[in-house]
Chains A and B, each alone.
Chain A
Amino acid sequence: QFQLVESGGGVVQPGRSLRLSCAASDFSFKYYVMHWVRQAPGKGLEWVAVTTYDGAKNYYADSVKGRFTISRDNSKNTLYLQMKSLRPEDTAFYYCARDSGAGAFESWGQGTLVTVSS
């Protein structure tokens, strides 16, 4: 059974940066579109960003555009989310998710918690 394992979360001060990673295993990572989705504690899901198979095209939610960068290293089977100028409202569990190819998030990692607080 394939896995997605996020890491890199933690407590960070407002305005600082953080990079999340998502390690993929037991599937052909390079053939899949990948997403980041977040969920503030006790709140609903919010799509954050998507990257194409080769990382050539990336799209972002308006709430993070210009501050977050999604990327991937297919040689390492790893997805990244570089977050800059963090705000308290960015506090959330961050999940990486594999795209189904039919407009759905078919598999999710266990999530990593980012807390933005002074």
Chain B
Amino acid sequence: HSALTQPASVSGSLGQSITISCNGINSDVGDYNYVSWYQQYPGKAPKLIIYDVTHRPSGVSNRFSGSKSGNTASLTISGLQTEDEADYYCSLYTSTNKIFGGGTKLTVL
């Protein structure tokens, strides 16, 4: 698999919705491809917020949602709040490789 490409930064106003894209999700025949998303605050460990493209772990706000179309996965955050300001990483997990996107810094205006 080639690299996963994310925008370096996105911004949105309080209450708005934003979408972060992750390009390069290529499906291999006979392989499994799991897409997940992580939130990371400065100086903290990453936190899983979306797994298997669309699923939210218990305790994660339903303002976070994931989707996939073709080779692009997307993370949408609705009703932006100040605590959403963080770095976000997508990940592709296959039987032979596990790769992360370069990360996107979300600024809440």
CA distance A46 to B4 in the complex (A): 12
Q: Which chain A residue lies CB-closest to B89?
A: A45
Binds A, one of B12-20, B21-29, B31-39, B69-77: B31-39
Q: Is the interface of A mostly helix, strand, loop or mixed?
A: strand
- Does B46 lie within 8 Å of A108, measured CB to CB? yes
Q: Which chain B residue lies CB-closest to A111?
A: B45
Interface size counted on chain A using CB atoms at 8 A = 20
- Does A102 lie within 8 Å of B52, measured CB to CB? yes
- Does A103 lie within 8 Å of B52, measured CB to CB? yes
- Does A44 lie within 8 Å of B89, measured CB to CB? yes
- Does A47 lie within 8 Å of B98, measured CB to CB? yes
**Does chain B have a CB within 8 A of A110?**
yes
Assuming the A-B contacts A44-B100, A44-B103, A45-B89, are A102 and B34 also in contact, with contact meaning beta carbons closer than 8 angstroms in the complex? Answer: yes
A-B pairs with lowest CB-CB distance, top 8: A103-B34, A103-B93, A104-B51, A104-B36, A108-B45, A47-B98, A45-B100, A44-B103
